[in-house]
Amino acid sequence: MSQINILVVDDEKEIADLVEIYLVSDGYTVLKANNAKEGFEILAKQDVHLVLLDIMMPGMDGLQMCRKIRETKNIPIIMLSAKSADLDKILGLGTGADDYVTKPFNPLELTARVKSQLRRYTQFNPNSASTEEQNEISLRGMTINRDNHKVVVYGEEVKLTPIEFDILYLLSSNPGKVFSTDEIFEKVWNEKVYEANNTVMVHIRRLRGKMKEDEREEKIITTVWGVGYKIEK
């Protein structure tokens, strides 16, 4: 992927301009929109690889826009918000975002988050699938293919974001092993956990919803209360 386009949707021009300066200095191409309408126009015309999305915007807010993007695209989405409460983070992640950054933020931290999400996205982009034998795991009615980012659950393909795929692959490739939320966060996000947060739980809840876990008695992802999560053989 030679040129990487990042869409910044934020009605605060100063914030968008600051983000642009740091991202351009790292070699990215930045596309800016003041609102959701402009953002969707860019998404329709341009090949966008990651979206930085402000929550508080006039008209359609960032949460609504994130849900709409997720109807057709699995590109990484990082939410930007002045709200730091856990409930706000849960709402942001629950709409389909991959990460959540609180304003005011350190631009270097933001660019590090961007790089982390892009690494994950480019690694599991279906266009990069190899023609060689594909790396698959099959268990409990599910097949997960690491090469083409394809997940099939009881015969039905499930569309996952890169973060959701990473969590599912981590659990699937270690059947029977229980991972705490902190372990999952550190292995999937490649960051240390400095404070308690609900990020992993929100992503697993969304993952279970996509896999229709509530419709089956025998679950694929098992909760070990007070410990973490696992997938049995």
Mean pLDDT of 187-201: 75
d(CA 169, CA 188) in angstroms, rounded, equals: 10
pLDDT > 70 fraction of the chain, expressed in percent and rounded: 88
- Per-residue pLDDT of 23-52, as tens digits, reads 999 899 999 999 999 999 999 999 999 999
The answer to whether the pTM exceeds 0.75 is no
Q: Are 197 and 203 in contact (CB under 8 A)?
A: no
Q: Coil, strand or helix: which one is 78?
A: strand
Residue 103's pLDDT is 84
Q: What is the pLDDT of residue 195?
A: 61
What's the rounded Cα separation, in Å, for the pair 143 and 136?
A: 7
> Is the confidence at residue 160, as pLDDT, over 50?
yes
CATH code given to domain 5-124: 3.40.50.2300
CA distances from 210 to 39, 110, 151, 159 (A): 26, 28, 11, 8
pLDDT tens string 91-132: 777 788 888 888 888 888 899 889 888 887 776 554 433 333
CA distance 150 to 160: 8
Q: Where in the chain is the domain with CATH 1.10.10.10?
A: 127-230
Q: What's the per-residue H, E or C state across 97-117?
A: CCEEEECCCCHHHHHHHHHHH
The answer to whether residue 190 scores a pLDDT higher than 80 is: no
132 alpha-carbon distance from chain centroid: 27
Query: Is 199 strand, coil or helix?
Result: helix
Residue 2's pLDDT is 63
Query: For residue 196, is pLDDT > 70?
Result: no
Fold of 127-230: Arc Repressor Mutant, subunit A (1.10.10)
pLDDT at 188 over 90: no
Segment 148-174 shows an average pLDDT of 89
In 194-229, which positions are buried (b, 16+ CB within 10 angstroms) versus exposed (e)? eeebebbebbbebbeeebebeeeeeebbeeeeeebb
**Residue showing tokens 């991959």:** 98
* C-alpha dist (Å) from residue 197 to 93, 157, 205: 12, 30, 14
Q: For the chain, where do the domains classified as CATH 3.40.50.2300 start and end?
A: 5-124
